[in-house]
Amino acid sequence: MTCNETHMAMVLAVYGELPDDRMHLLRQHLEACTVCAEELEQLLALKTLADAHPVDEPEANLVARSRLRLEEALDRLPPKRWYDRAAEWLTRTAAGLQAAPVAASLLLLAGAGAGGLVGYQFAARHQANLVTARESDSVPAKAESASAFNGSATDENIVSVSQIVQIPRSRMIEVNYSALEPRQVRGSIENPQIRQLLMLAAQDAPNAAVRNNSVALLAAECRSGRGCAGTDAFGGNLREALMVALRYDRSAAVRAKALEGLQPYVSDDVEVRDALLEVLMNDADAQIRSAAIAMLAPVDADSSVRQVLSTVETEDDNPHIRDASRLVLQRVSEIQ
């Protein structure tokens, strides 16, 4: 048995799948080859380490949600045009075409063109059917959404939030979301289920417009002082949801709305103050950093605030940000 043959044999032996006759040959080789013997020791150590940290199986709900999101993403992809399909096919079979006779190559090219045309027509019909099916599905969904909520909106069965609409001149919110099938719920913003969907959309919605709507509604609630002081009936916290959006959302508009919603709590909530300090140090948007400085000015007596402002005064790339930090620090010195 050579060293190359030994590599696979050692893996099978470690997991008890090597036949007895090959096990004898493997032992003979290991007695004569110190390199392979060391490799076997490493494999055994790796198996011991892997056994000590078994991999947990994903939850069924997580698998279902991931599969649905993948299917939704694939549905949003436009159908490939017939010449794109033909080009891919020719690329995969280039080696075979080079060795084929001229007549066979011509036949293959003709078949590729015909097949691509048929595929294009099929994809176009399939896309049209998807649009028709979605339009027809939306009709009964709207009819059923008058005021009843069908099913419990929990993190385990919600796939994604697709749309948030506030009813004009009212405090009623309409939320479209997917939970194995598209659903809709309508209710007052004081409704715990509506609030939970808004917080979920603020953190998880792939559409920036949906995140923007949800964060704007949550920020308005916090600015008004309604339900932003603690945990709601579903275990959610509006203030924490805004801090997460402020720290991690990719949209500067969403982060700005979250910042506005947190303004009433800068003086009393240390966690909110810390979130603003992180934004001042790390946010890429200069307007958001400038707004954070203005919100931190009333609490400039805090040593952490003064320390961060001192750092920003000397290290920020934007001269306006440096000047704003310097003005706040000068006022602190004058007061002291």
Residue pLDDT, tens place only, 168-210:
888 888 888 776 666 778 888 888 888 888 888 887 767 788 8
The per-residue pLDDT for 174 is: 87
Of 93 and 118, the one with more pLDDT: 93
What is the three-class DSSP state of 35?
helix
Of 236, 265, 294, the position where a domain reaches its end is: 265
Contact in structure between 199 and 215 (CB atoms under 8 Å)? no
- Can you say how many angstroms the Cα of residue 137 is from the centroid of all Cα atoms in its chain? 27
Same domain, 132 and 208: no
Assess whether pLDDT exceeds 50 at residue 143.
no
Of residues 232 and 242, the one with the higher pLDDT is 242
Instruction: State how far the Cα of 288 lies from the Cα of 325, in Å rounded to an integer.
Output: 14
pLDDT at 335 over 80: no
Mean local confidence (pLDDT), 146-163: 57
Of residues 114 and 190, more confidently modeled: 190
- Residue 183 domain-assigned (yes or no): yes
Q: What is each CA distance from 185 to 4, 202, 207, in whole angstroms? A: 63, 17, 19
Give the global pTM: 0.49
- Which residue, of 143, 163, 191, is where some domain finishes? 143
3-state secondary structure of 172: strand
- Return d(Cα 248, Cα 203) in angstroms, integer: 9
177/97 same-domain check:
no
Condensed to tens digits (0 to 9), the pLDDT of residues 5-42 reads 888 888 888 778 888 888 888 888 888 888 888 888 88
In a domain, residue 313? The reply is yes
Mean pLDDT along residues 308-318: 89
Residues 258 and 203 in one domain: yes
Q: Give the range with max mean pLDDT: 130-139, 203-212, 260-269.
A: 260-269
Q: Helix %, strand %, coil % for the chain, to 5? A: 70, 5, 25
Q: Which helix (H) or strand (E) holds 22?
A: helix 20-32
Q: What totals of helices (H) and strands (E) does the chain contain, helices first?
A: 15, 3
As for how many domains the chain has, the answer is 4
Lowest mean pLDDT among 76-85, 180-189, 222-231: 76-85
Structural domain contains residue 171:
yes
Residue 238 lies in a domain: yes
CB atoms closer than 10 angstroms to residue 286: 14
If asked whether residues 160 and 191 sit together in one domain, one would say yes
More confident residue, 205 or 118: 205
In order, the DSSP letters of 102-161 are: HHHHHHHHHHHHHHHHHHHHHHHHHHHHHHHHHHHHHHHHHHTTSS---S---TTT--EE
Assign 99 a pLDDT band (cuts: 50, 70, 90): very low
Say if 322 falls within a structural domain. Answer: yes
Look at residue 79 in the predicted model and tell me its pLDDT: 63
Q: pLDDT over 70 for what percent of the chain?
A: 65
154 lies in the same domain as 186:
yes
Considering the domain architecture, whether residues 151 and 259 belong to the same structural domain is answered as: yes
| Higher pLDDT among residues 230 and 279, named by residue | 279
- Which of 211, 244, 265 marks a domain boundary? 265
pLDDT at 146 over 70: no
User: Considering the chain, what is the average pLDDT of its residues?
Assistant: 74
251 and 336 in a single domain? The answer is no
Which of 55-64, 96-105, 150-159, 304-313 has the highest mean predicted lDDT (pLDDT)?
A: 304-313
124 plus 155 within the same structural domain: no
Gap between the Cα atoms of 179 and 136, Å rounded: 18
pLDDT of residue 1: 72
Phi, psi of 162 (to 5 degrees): -105, -25
Query: Is residue 151 in some structural domain?
Result: yes
Is 50 exceeded by the pLDDT of residue 147?
no
154 shares a domain with 249: yes
Lowest mean pLDDT among 16-25, 86-95, 120-129, 231-240: 120-129
* Residues 16 and 87 reside in one and the same domain: no
57 lies in a domain? no
Neighbours of 10 (CB within 10 A): 20
Inside any domain, residue 308 = yes
Domain region containing 331: 273-336
Q: Do 116 and 76 lie in a common domain? A: yes
φ and ψ of 180, to 5 deg:
70, -20
User: What pLDDT score was predicted for residue 197?
Assistant: 84
**Do 169 and 251 fall within a single domain?**
yes
Distance CA 231, CA 192 (A): 11
Overall average pLDDT of the 212-233 stretch: 79
Dist. CA 193–CA 29, nearest whole Å = 67
Q: What is the pLDDT of residue 137?
A: 43
